């Protein structure tokens, strides 16, 4: 039996584990009962990075936090240690499931974090040459075994070990935990760097003032982070060890998975000053505020001197961490993340199993890790100063390429592909409806226009002259989240019809609409297909992120530029000759049963909501009303549709071409909201 600590009585805590009940609709029933409305049933398959799987019966009104807590009940992983990923998107705790594009029986990937606070250690033990004359303590007494002790260190002792102290009040002072007997054999002591003559040990908490210390890292670690102090049978200090993080997971001092911490235990330990404030930035950054060393077999009692009904399971000792400033808090949300880690020994001390790099699970979560890093880099790029953006963008581009081609087609199914990177490609069969429509759309209105125009990227000579574009390969792009946003925007545009003078959207003619009808376009919102030509090096970024109006600074405003005529689209394309090593990831991603010919060019056929467009000849005024086409000088948004109440912006800009127009041959369409244009097909074509 371990040492006993007593505490005064404490009121029982209210059971409130949901954390997000304020945001869930509650219907009051008769009596004191209430029923939480979950929304439509939703079964989700949770696939954890440590190999475990769980099926959760959730609801569309659930928040992600509630899903994480349901998963915790099944796999015993704290919500803060879970990172959820679906369709290439990191799910946040306050997101509502029904708004994330989650379908019944969808697979959600769960990263089980392998760093604090999801995990502690392992640590290597380093022997520190502090002796009894360095760390002075009061005489040993019975209280040392129940309440611990203190130590002091004079400046001359620091100097003896080459440690500098700047701006620190001397002597240094620190606290010891209650003492414990060492039960290891001499052989085990030697392996753990414990002096053979040691009989008792205590945990030494960090010095009260340590931030001005300089010198040897290991010695500084003992004084600033803490360590173990060992005493012989005469209670004389015979050795000190500190803990240093290890690379990898093998050996060292290992700890269990985090276990729930009962706030009832905190009060007793606080009476003896056992919980101390955490000052280490890396720990504070993840929310940790107080910590305590738990003795082997620690038993905690109430004020009646009897053991409490529950006890921390720390047979060999461990550490407890609190994640709130007020250590004695009983607030359910604050204490939710409190935890303890028990030292592992004996049969529980398990060496990690080496993972086969060819294993499917390894590849799956290796990719998922890349996806998570990609999102973190995207957030970092948005906040980075201009001087750092180029480097981050380059790193992000390389990672996007890696993500795009990381999943071997033969090993992981399409559902996993969608869940991990957020999109998947389905090869369009030749001679099918979609293939025929795309091939028809590739035909220019006038073959003589091919290779002509101010936007032509590659110079065309008599030798390289061509008169047609031939479809070589095509893929349908499945991106559930982008498609969900697009469909939501379609409903929004339909609702705008009620605000128009005639209460309906006027029909708009588009060159490709008659062909696109084979691809099931919605004429109520003037839906059509448009071309977006691009460079080979941009294809993977568009597949991953979609089109983005914020990247454009064209002649007709900051929007996404598309066109109806393939001759116009072709002007923006450059060849992939199969030799550029930078395009290796792209070709790996696209190559299926048949290798792509070389050279090929790439373009996206985009499903587009024209809605109510404003038409212009000069890029400044609406050709029908004479009013301005933009709502401001920044050219980021279109003007209001005349007569709408409440006012509604035009949905797209159509720049006309021909006599008296700024454009000579082909008109262009500019979308100022990415939600209204979605790349649905990627085509590879050749010039003939």
Domain boundaries, given as residue ranges, for the chain? 38-112, 123-245, 259-348, 360-415, 422-553+566-611+675-687
For the entire predicted model, the pTM comes to: 0.50
Q: Please, where are the H alpha helices in 176-273?
A: 186-191, 217-224, 263-271
Contact indicator for 291, 275 with CB cutoff of 8 Å: yes
Q: What does the pLDDT read at residue 473?
A: 93
DSSP 606-621: EEEE--SEEEESSSSB
C-alpha to C-alpha distances, 154 to 134, 174, 219, 235, 475, nearest whole angstrom: 7, 12, 15, 21, 74
- Coil/strand/helix, residue 504: coil
Preceding omega of 646 cis (within 30 degrees of 0): yes
Which tokens in the block code for residue 551?
A: 């990247």
- Could you tell me where the beta strands, DSSP code E, fall in 232-375? 237-245, 259-260, 276-277, 290-294, 299-301, 318-322, 339-342
Which tokens in the block code for residue 311?
A: 């006890």
Which tokens in the block code for residue 173?
A: 């002072």
Q: Taking Cα atoms as reference points, which of 67, 65, 109 lies closest to residue 89?
A: 109
Q: What does the pLDDT read at residue 353?
A: 45
* Strand pairing class (299-301; 4-6): parallel
Determine the Cα angle at 396 with ends 391 and 398, to 5°.
Answer: 100
Query: Partners of 44 in the beta sheet?
Result: 56, 106
Contact indicator for 100, 91 with CB cutoff of 8 Å: yes
DSSP 422-488: S-EEEEPPTTSHHHHHHHHHTS-S-GGGTT-STT-SS---STT----EEEEEEEEEE-HHHHHHHHH
Which tokens in the block code for residue 15?
A: 């059971």
Query: Partners of 662 in the beta sheet?
Result: none
Residue 177 makes CB contacts below 8 A (sequence gap 6+) with 148, 202, 203, 204, 205, 274, 292, 293, 295
Query: Partners of 127 in the beta sheet?
Result: 241
Residue with tokens 């890029």: 619
Which tokens in the block code for residue 29?
A: 């029933």
Phi, psi (rounded to 5 degrees) for 351: -80, 140
Mean pLDDT by 10 residues, the chain (688 residues): 42 37 36 56 90 92 92 83 84 90 88 80 84 91 87 91 86 91 75 85 87 79 89 94 72 84 92 84 81 90 85 92 93 88 77 43 51 68 79 74 52 50 84 91 92 76 86 90 86 88 85 86 92 93 87 83 94 90 82 72 96 94 93 89 90 93 92 94 94
Query: Partners of 59 in the beta sheet?
Result: 41
Span between the terminal Cα atoms of the chain, in Å: 86
Phi, psi (rounded to 5 degrees) for 217: -65, -45
- Coil/strand/helix, residue 670: strand
CATH class of the region 38-112: alpha beta
C-alpha to C-alpha distances, 102 to 57, 86, 108, 476, nearest whole angstrom: 13, 8, 9, 20
Q: What does the pLDDT read at residue 371?
A: 62
Which tokens in the block code for residue 386?
A: 């201009």
Q: How far apart are CA 549 and CA 633, in angstroms?
A: 16
Q: Give the alpha-carbon dihedral of 649, 652, 658, 659, to 10 degrees.
A: 10
Q: How many residues does the chain have?
A: 688
Q: What does the pLDDT read at residue 358?
A: 40
Q: Taking Cα atoms as reference points, which of 477, 490, 452, 481 lies closest to residue 605?
A: 477
Residue 398 host element (H or E) = helix 386-404
Q: How far apart are CA 626 and CA 615, in angstroms?
A: 10
Q: What does the pLDDT read at residue 375?
A: 64
Chain-centroid distance of CA 37 in Å reads 28
Residue with tokens 């001397």: 170
The topology under which CATH files domain 422-553+566-611+675-687 is Phosphoenolpyruvate Carboxykinase; domain 3 (3.90.228)
Residue 346 makes CB contacts below 8 A (sequence gap 6+) with none
Q: What does the pLDDT read at residue 20?
A: 41
- Could you tell me where the beta strands, DSSP code E, fall in 96-167? 106-112, 123-128, 149-153, 164-165
Phi, psi (rounded to 5 degrees) for 567: -65, -35
Residue with tokens 């290992």: 254
Which tokens in the block code for residue 395?
A: 């790193």
* Strand pairing class (560-563; 668-671): antiparallel
Q: What does the pLDDT read at residue 89?
A: 82
Which tokens in the block code for residue 427?
A: 């090869």
Query: How many CB atoms neighbour CB 93 within 10 A?
Result: 17
């Amino acid at each position: 039996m371990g040492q006993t600590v007593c505490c005064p009585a404490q009121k029982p805590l209210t059971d409130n584990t949901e954390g997000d009940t304020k945001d869930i609709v509650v219907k009051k029933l008769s009596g004191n009962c209430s029923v939480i409305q979950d929304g439509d049933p939703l079964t989700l398959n949770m696939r954890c990075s440590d190999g475990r799987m769980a099926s959760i019966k959730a609801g569309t009104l659930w928040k992600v936090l509630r899903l994480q807590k349901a998963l915790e009940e099944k796999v015993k992983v704290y919500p803060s240690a879970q990172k959820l990923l679906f369709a290439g998107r990191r799910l946040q705790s306050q997101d509502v499931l029904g708004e994330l594009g989650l379908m019944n029986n969808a697979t959600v990937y769960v990263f089980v974090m392998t760093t604090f606070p999801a995990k502690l250690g392992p640590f290597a033990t380093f022997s520190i040459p502090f002796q009894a004359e360095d760390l002075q303590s009061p005489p040993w007494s019975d209280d040392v075994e129940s309440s611990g002790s203190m130590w002091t260190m004079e400046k001359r002792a620091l100097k003896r070990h080459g440690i500098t102290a700047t701006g620190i009040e001397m002597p240094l002072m620190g606290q010891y935990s209650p003492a414990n007997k060492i039960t290891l054999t001499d052989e085990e002591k030697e392996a753990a760097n414990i002096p053979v003559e040691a009989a008792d040990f205590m945990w030494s908490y960090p010095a009260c003032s340590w931030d001005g210390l300089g010198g040897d890292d290991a010695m500084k670690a003992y004084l600033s982070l803490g360590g173990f102090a060992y005493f012989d049978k005469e209670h004389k200090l015979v050795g000190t060890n500190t803990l240093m993080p290890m690379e990898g997971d093998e050996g060292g001092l290992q700890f269990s998975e985090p276990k729930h911490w009962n706030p009832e235990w905190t009060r007793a330990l606080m009476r003896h000053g056992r919980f101390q404030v955490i000052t280490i930035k890396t720990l504070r950054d993840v929310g940790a505020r107080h910590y305590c060393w738990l003795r082997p077999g620690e038993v905690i009692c109430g004020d009646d001197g009897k053991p409490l009904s529950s006890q921390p399971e720390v047979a060999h000792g461990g550490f407890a961490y609190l994640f709130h400033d007020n250590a004695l808090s009983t607030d359910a949300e604050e204490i939710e993340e409190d935890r303890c880690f028990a030292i592992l020994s004996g049969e529980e001390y398990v060496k990690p199993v080496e993972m086969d790099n060819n294993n499917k699970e390894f590849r799956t979560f290796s990719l998922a890790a890349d996806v998570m890093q990609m999102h973190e880099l995207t957030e970092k790029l948005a906040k980075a100063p201009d001087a750092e953006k180029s480097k981050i963008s380059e790193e992000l581009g390389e990672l996007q390429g890696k993500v795009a081609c990381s999943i071997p087609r033969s090993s992981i199914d399409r559902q996993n592909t969608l869940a991990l990177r957020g999109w998947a490609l389905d090869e369009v069969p030749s001679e099918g409806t979609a293939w025929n429509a795309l091939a028809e759309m590739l035909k220019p209105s006038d073959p003589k226009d091919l290779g002509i125009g101010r936007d032509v990227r590659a110079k065309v000579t008599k030798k390289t002259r061509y008169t047609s574009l031939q479809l070589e390969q095509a893929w349908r792009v499945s991106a559930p989240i982008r498609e969900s946003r697009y469909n939501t925007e379609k409903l929004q545009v339909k609702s705008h019809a009620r605000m128009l003078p005639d209460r309906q959207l006027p029909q708009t003619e588009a060159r490709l609409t008659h062909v696109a009808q084979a691809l099931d376009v919605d004429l109520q919102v003037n839906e059509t297909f448009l071309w977006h030509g691009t460079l080979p090096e941009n294809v993977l970024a568009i597949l991953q992120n979609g089109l983005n109006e914020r990247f454009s600074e064209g002649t007709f405003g900051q929007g996404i530029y598309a066109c109806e005529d393939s001759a116009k689209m072709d002007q923006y394309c450059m060849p992939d000759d199969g030799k550029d090593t930078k395009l290796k990831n792209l070709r790996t991603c696209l190559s299926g049963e048949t290798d792509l010919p070389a050279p090929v060019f790439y373009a996206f056929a985009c499903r587009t909501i024209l809605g109510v467009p404003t038409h212009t000849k000069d890029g400044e005024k609406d050709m029908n009303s004479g009013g301005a086409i933009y709502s401001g000088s920044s050219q980021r948004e279109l003007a209001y549709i005349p007569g709408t109440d409440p006012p509604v912006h035009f949905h797209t800009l159509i720049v006309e071409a021909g006599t008296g127009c700024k454009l000579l041959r082909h008109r262009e369409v500019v979308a100022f909201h990415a939600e209204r244009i979605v790349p649905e097909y990627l085509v590879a074509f050749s010039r003939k």
